[in-house]
């Protein structure tokens, strides 16, 4: 996959949809594209975080440690992103991300992330939208869980 194909791919990612192509190209050029084999972890709950990942292909499980072992709480698919909490709030990773199948990601460093958000407020809105969705999703699960109990 060369740079131009990668840029085409990024254009399809919702959070980058409003970013102009030239900047996407810079993002693609300066960010590391990382491949993970099945079962490899992107990061582990409790690690210090210094980057977020955009899934370019493949799927990954979001796992949370519980006393009874890790449980999968969500699945990440193509165009999803993960790891933004640790770099936004400077807290350790809140979940473990494990590749469910061979996975290609774009690793965006903390510096680059802030630079992009500062330059493209639209990106911040997309991220907020995604975070809100996730919060709503969690709330729903919580309601379901309390009802069941």
Partner 1 sequence: MQRNLFSYIWRHSRPEQLVILYLVVFAQVAYFISLSLPKAIVNNGIEGKAFRSQPTVTVLSIEIPLPAFLDLGAAWTVFEGFAVAQWPYLVVMSFLFLLSVVVNGQFKKTINTQKGRMGERMLRRLRYELYERILRFPPQHFRKVKQAELATMVNNEVEPLGGFIGDAFVQPMFLGGQAATAILFIMLQSWMLGIVVIALLAVQMAIIPRLRKPVLALGKQRQLTARQFAGRIAETADGIAEIRAHGTVNYERADVSDRLGRIFRIRFELFEKKFVAKFWNNFLSQATPFAIYLLGGYFAISGQMDVGSVVGVLLAYKDLPSPVKELIDWDQQRQDVQIKYEQVIDQFQPEGMVAPELQTLPPGPIPMLAGAVALSGVSVSDDGQIKLLDQVALSFPLGGTLAVIGGAGSGKEVLGQLFARQQRPDSGTIRIGDTDFATLPEPVLGARVSYIGQDTYLFPLSVRDNLLYGLKHRPVADAVYAEDRRAERELFRRESQRAGNPDLDPAADWVDADLAGAATSDELLQRMAEALRSVELEDEIYQFGLRGTIDPARDPALAEALLAARRALHERLREPAFAPLIEGFEAARYNRNLSVAENLLFGTPVGKAFEIDNLAGNAYAQSILKSTGLEDELGRMGLSIAETMVELFSGLASDNPLFEQYSFISADELPNVRLLLQRLGGKGLDAVPAADRPRLISLPFRYVEARHRLGLIDDAMEDRLLAARRAFAEGLPAELRASVEFYDRERYNGAATLQDNILFGRLVYGQAQAEARIGALIGEVLDTLGLRNAAIAVGLEFNVGVGGKRLPAGQRQKLGIARALIKRPQLLVVNEALATFDSRTQDRLRDNILAACAERGVLWIANRAEQARPFADVAVMDKGRLVGRGTHDELAARGGPYADLMSGG
Distance between CA atoms of residues 107 and 37, nearest Å: 15
- 6 scored as a contact of partner 1 (CB under 8 A): yes
- 75 scored as a contact of partner 1 (CB under 8 A): no
- 113 scored as a contact of partner 1 (CB under 8 A): no
Rounded least distance, CB 105 to partner 1, Å: 8
Residue of 118, 107, 127 lying closest to 28 (CA atoms): 107
Distance between CA atoms of residues 96 and 44, nearest Å: 4
Range 14-43, binding partner 1 (CB under 8 A): 22-23, 25-26, 28-30, 32-37, 40, 42
In sequence order, which residues have a C-beta less than 8 Å from that of residue 72 and are 6 or more positions away? 61, 62, 63
Distance between CA atoms of residues 38 and 59, nearest Å: 9
- 59 scored as a contact of partner 1 (CB under 8 A): no
Alpha-carbon distance values, 4 to 22, 25, 43, 87, 91 (Å): 10, 7, 28, 28, 35
- 111 scored as a contact of partner 1 (CB under 8 A): yes
Structure tokens at 142: 């919580």
- 110 scored as a contact of partner 1 (CB under 8 A): no
Rounded least distance, CB 57 to partner 1, Å: 13
Rounded least distance, CB 15 to partner 1, Å: 20
Residues near partner 1, by CB under 8 A:
1-4, 6, 22-23, 25-26, 28-30, 32-37, 40, 42, 111
């Amino acid at each position: 996959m060369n740079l131009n194909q990668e840029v085409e791919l990024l254009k399809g990612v919702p959070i980058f949809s409003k970013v102009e192509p030239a900047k996407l190209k810079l993002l693609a050029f300066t960010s590391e594209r990382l491949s993970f084999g099945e079962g490899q972890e992107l990061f582990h709950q409790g690690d210090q975080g210094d980057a977020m990942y955009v899934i370019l292909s493949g799927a990954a499980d979001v796992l949370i440690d519980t006393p009874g072992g890790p449980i999968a709480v969500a699945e990440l698919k193509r165009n999803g992103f993960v790891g933004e909490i640790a770099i936004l709030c400077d807290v350790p990773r809140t979940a473990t991300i494990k590749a469910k199948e061979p996975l290609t990601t774009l690793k965006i460093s903390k510096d680059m992330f802030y630079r992009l958000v500062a330059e493209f407020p639209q990106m911040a809105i997309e991220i907020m939208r995604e975070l809100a969705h996730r919060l709503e999703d969690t709330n729903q699960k919580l309601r379901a869980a309390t009802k069941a109990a």
